[in-house]
Structure 1
Amino acid sequence: MNRQTEILAASLDPQAKEWWRGAVIYQIYPRSFRDSNGDGIGDLKGIADNLDYVASLGVDGIWISPFFTSPMKDFGYDVADYCGIDPSFGTFDDFDQLIERAHALGLKVIIDQVYSHTSDEHAWFQESRQDRTNPKADWYVWADPKPDGSPPSNWQSVFGGSAWAWDGPRKQYYLHNFLEEQPDLNVHNRDVQDALLDVARFWLDRGVDGFRLDALNFSMHDPEFRDNPPSGASMEQVTRPFDMQIKIFNQSHADIPAFIERIRETIDEYPDRFTVAEVGGPEPLEEMKAFTADGKRLDSAYNFDFLYAPDFTAERIKASLGNWDGTPGEGWPSWAFSNHDAPRSTTRWMGDADYGQMARLAMMVLLSLRGNPIIYQGEELALPQGEVAFEDLQDPEAIANWPHTLGRDGSRTPLPWVKNAPQAGFSDANQTWLKVDPVQAERAVDQQTDDDGSALNHTRRLLALRRSLPPLISGSSELLKTPCDIIAFIRRTENQAVLCAYNLGSAAYQWTPPAEFAHSNIVVSEAVGDGSAKLTELMPPHSGYWAVKKGA
Structure 2
Amino acid sequence: MNQASPISPMPDKDWWRGAVIYQIYPRSYQDSNADGIGDLRGITARLPHIASLGADAIWISPFFTSPMKDFGYDVSDYCDVDPIFGTLDDFDLLIAESHRLGIRVMIDLVLSHTSDLHPWFVESRSSLTNPKADWYVWADPAPDGTPPTNWLSIFGGSAWQWDTRRLQYFLHNFLTSQPDLNFHNPEVQDALLDVTRFWLQKGVDGFRLDTINFYFHDKHLRHNPALAPELRNAQTAPAVNPYNHQEHLYDKSQPENLEFLKRFRAVLDEYPAITAVGEVGDSQRGLEIAGEYTSGGDKVHMCYAFEFLAPDALTPVFVKATQEKFQRVAPEGWACWAFSNHDVMRHISRWGSNVHDVAGYAKLLSALLMTLRGSVCIYQGEELGLPEADLAFEDLQDPYGIQFWPNYKGRDGCRTPMVWEKAAPNGGFSLVKPWLPVPANHLDLAADAENGEPSSILNQYRQFLAFRRRHPAFAKGEIEFLEAGNEVLSFTRMHGNEVLLCIFNISEHSVVAALPEGSWETLDGHGFQSEQNERNISLSAWGAWFARRT
Match status 1:358 vs 2:379: no
Alignment of 1:110-509 (within 5 A): 110-233=106-229, 238-283=239-284, 284-325=286-327, 330-350=332-352, 351-429=354-432, 431-509=433-511
**Preserved CA contact (<8 Å) 1:522 1:534:** no
**Preserved CA contact (<8 Å) 1:308 1:343:** no
Task: Report the Cα distance in structure 2 between the residues aligned to 1:66 and 1:502, rounded to whole angstroms.
Answer: 36
CA 1:295 to 1:122, structure 2 compared with 1: closer, same or farther past 3 Å? same
1:263 Cα shift?
0.3
Matched with 1:539 is 539
Task: Report the Cα distance in structure 1 between the residues aligned to 2:534 and 2:494, rounded to whole angstroms.
Answer: 20
Please report the RMSD computed on the Cα atoms of aligned residues, expressed in angstroms: 1.9
1:539 Cα shift?
2.7
Partner SS state of residue 115, structure 1: coil
Task: Report the Cα distance in structure 2 between the residues aligned to 1:534 and 1:180, rounded to whole angstroms.
Answer: 63
1:41 Cα shift?
0.2
Task: Report the Cα distance in structure 1 between the residues aligned to 2:62 and 2:233, rounded to whole angstroms.
Answer: 34
Q: Aligned residue pairs: how many? A: 533
CA 1:193 to 1:519, structure 2 compared with 1: closer, same or farther past 3 Å? closer
Matched with 2:89 is 93
Deviations, residues 240-260 of structure 1 (Å, cap 9, x unaligned): 111111101111111011100
Deviations, residues 141-171 of structure 1 (Å, cap 9, x unaligned): 0000011110001111000000000001111
Deviations, residues 287-309 of structure 1 (Å, cap 9, x unaligned): 10111111111100001111123
**Preserved CA contact (<8 Å) 2:287 2:329:** no
**Preserved CA contact (<8 Å) 1:356 1:382:** yes
Deviations, residues 433-462 of structure 1 (Å, cap 9, x unaligned): 101111111100110001001000011110
Pairing partner for 1:30 from 18, 22, 26 = 26
1:403 Cα shift?
1.6
CA 1:236 to 1:274, structure 2 compared with 1: closer, same or farther past 3 Å? closer
1:519 Cα shift?
4.4
1:67 Cα shift?
0.1
Task: Report the Cα distance in structure 1 between the residues aligned to 2:527 and 2:501, rounded to whole angstroms.
Answer: 14
Give the AA of the match of 1:262.
R
Give the AA of the match of 1:416.
V
Task: Report the Cα distance in structure 2 between the residues aligned to 1:226 and 1:362, rounded to whole angstroms.
Answer: 42
Give the AA of the match of 1:219.
Y
CA 1:484 to 1:191, structure 2 compared with 1: closer, same or farther past 3 Å? same
| Unaligned 5+ runs, structure 2 | 1-10
Matched with 1:84 is 80
Pairing partner for 1:109 from 105, 108, 111 = 105
**Preserved CA contact (<8 Å) 1:153 1:225:** yes
Partner SS state of residue 428, structure 1: coil
**Preserved CA contact (<8 Å) 2:493 2:501:** yes
**Preserved CA contact (<8 Å) 2:288 2:329:** no
Match status 1:59 vs 2:55: yes
CA 1:105 to 1:435, structure 2 compared with 1: closer, same or farther past 3 Å? same
Superposition TM-score, scaled by structure 1 size: 0.93
Task: Report the Cα distance in structure 2 between the residues aligned to 1:393 and 1:435, rounded to whole angstroms.
Answer: 10
Task: Report the Cα distance in structure 2 between the residues aligned to 1:261 and 1:329, rounded to whole angstroms.
Answer: 18
Task: Report the Cα distance in structure 1 between the residues aligned to 2:403 and 2:38, rounded to whole angstroms.
Answer: 25
Deviations, residues 403-422 of structure 1 (Å, cap 9, x unaligned): 21242101000000001111
Deviations, residues 164-209 of structure 1 (Å, cap 9, x unaligned): 0000111100000000000000011100000000000000000000
Give the AA of the match of 1:388.
L
**Preserved CA contact (<8 Å) 2:294 2:330:** no
Superposition TM-score, scaled by structure 2 size: 0.94
Give the AA of the match of 2:541.
P
**Preserved CA contact (<8 Å) 1:102 1:109:** yes
**Range moving further from structure 2, 16-25 or 471-480:** 16-25
**Preserved CA contact (<8 Å) 1:525 1:543:** no
1:236 Cα shift?
11
1:16 Cα shift?
5.2
**Preserved CA contact (<8 Å) 2:500 2:549:** yes
Partner SS state of residue 105, structure 2: strand
**Preserved CA contact (<8 Å) 2:290 2:330:** no
CA 1:55 to 1:202, structure 2 compared with 1: closer, same or farther past 3 Å? same
Task: Report the Cα distance in structure 2 between the residues aligned to 1:95 and 1:216, rounded to whole angstroms.
Answer: 25
Give the AA of the match of 1:538.
S
Task: Report the Cα distance in structure 2 between the residues aligned to 1:136 and 1:86, rounded to whole angstroms.
Answer: 24
